Amino acid sequence: MAVRLIEEYMPSKIGINAVTGLLTAVGVLAFSAGLGYVNVRTIEDNEARVTHTHDVLTSLHLVMSTVKDAETGQRGFIIAGDPIYLKPYDAARAAIAMQLDQLQSLVADNPEQADRVRKLRETVDLRLKSLAAGVTTQETAGYEAARAHVRRGLGLEQMEAIRERVDEMVRIEEDLLRERTQVALRAYRTAYFTTALATIVGVVLVGTVFYLVRRQVIAQQRMTEILERQVRERTLELNETNESLRVSNRELEQFASVASHDLQEPLRKIEAFGDRLKSRNLAQLDESGRDYLERVLLSATRMRSLINDLLNFSRVTTRAQPPQLLDLGSVAQDVVSDLEGRIQQTGGKVEIGTLPELEADPIQMRQLLQNLIGNALKFHRPGVPPVVRLASQAATNGKAATSCEITVEDNGIGFEEVYLDRIFNVFQRLHGRNEYEGTGMGLAICRKIVERHGGTITAQSKLEQGSRFIVTLPLRQPKKD
């Protein structure tokens, strides 16, 4: 009978499916991260090209404007004969060479445009020489001679040549600008679509993996309960099954730890590239696109919380510390100090009574009290400041005290005791995520810590009348050979 039930609940098939799903999810997330990186680099390159084209256009207009300034200054000097008109002329002559050098540098990657800049420089030099000749004529021969120099018509031909070369380059750069703008828009759309799609697929796969892990945990719990019912009748069979159970538990804990670690890196990249897409390209997305992006980021945050809680659950056994004698009252004081911000935020208070000294893992005792006190502060009634009381009493076996009973009592929302067994299971919640934050792992971790120390945990509660969690722990841990 026992053998048949064990075989029925053995989670090997679930474990294989979970590992397969995990590897698939990790692959999808890694692909998503790589694809997101490529898309971001493509967007950055396109933005750089668009900016470069704007710089070329600005430089071309600046060159044309400077040549006009030089011509205006020369004509003013010829007409008025006043040297003050030569200031814009001299400034333009001084700036034009630097502007042409800058333009030459900007189009260095485009041989055809670079050749046009060289021709433009020759045309501009020719015009500047002609302007200089007019200034010299005014200075040496007077207004009429300078006027005759201007009336030859060379200035119109030279300016028209400059304007044609500039206009030609402007047309080419504007064509490039339109082309690069379209490429950039396509890159934005591609980046958004591929990142969102790959992330959604990855998150769905990860969710499937955790669903399978949850099924495996539940199956393991069922098998443990079956073995406990058979303990008195099938001693030998129970010993053999317990060994199998310990091996299965170690595999499960190792799997949970590896799963959590392997999912951290691709999840960080999802968040990083999602944040970068949000900060740089939010304006290019429509309303539905922004909504999808926010959902992706929210799902990534929720998944990180699930991973961390699953890792904490597995570490109760895999990273346990040797027991040592500790003052539970000091541990409680440290926990309250860490929760000071939440206490002030809710306007609540925590009253710590006399707590015992016992042998235990100090880190896990801290985690146990932090989860219980934190829950008491979180699940408080609206408008009623939370009050949490810690107390203890000795539990005797008719002689000396061998264990202690620790209570954590609050005045919060409470719960119906019909759900008592459910609240200590993994991923179990009595309230929706929109009402209270959390992943449903806190009390499961508490139970695992208590059971690892050879104790028990239970609770008493009524709706809207608070809750009372009762933890029984041995004062001394058994010596290991």
Output the pLDDT for position 317. Answer: 56
Spell 317-356 as b/e; 16+ CB within 10 A means b. eeeeeebeebebbebbeebbeebeeebeeeebebebeebb
What is the per-residue pLDDT for 432? 46
Chain centroid to CA 55: 34
pTM above 0.75, yes or no: no
What integer pLDDT is reported at residue 256 of this predicted model?
A: 60
Q: Are 106 and 62 in contact (CB under 8 A)?
A: no
* Mean pLDDT, range 44-67, rounded to an integer: 83
Residue range 419-455, pLDDT digits in tens: 777 877 765 555 545 455 555 677 888 888 898 888 9
Total number of residues shown for the chain: 481
What is d(CA 471, CA 459) in angstroms, rounded to the nearest whole number?
Answer: 9
pLDDT for the residue numbered 263: 63
Whether the per-residue pLDDT at 172 is higher than 80: the answer is: yes
pLDDT at 164 over 70: yes
pLDDT for the residue 173: 83
Per-residue pLDDT at 229 exceeds 70 = yes
- pLDDT tens for 243-294 read 765 666 566 666 665 665 666 667 666 777 778 777 877 778 788 877 777 7
Which of 31-45, 165-179, 345-359 is most confident? 345-359
For the stretch 305-342, pLDDT in tens is 556 555 655 555 555 578 889 999 999 999 999 889 88
pLDDT at 6: 46
pLDDT per residue as tens digits for the range 176-201 = 888 878 887 887 788 777 777 777 87
Query: What's the mean pLDDT in 451-464?
Result: 88
End-to-end CA distance of the chain: 35
Average pLDDT, the chain: 77
Instruction: Output Rg (C-alpha) for the chain, integer angstroms.
Output: 39
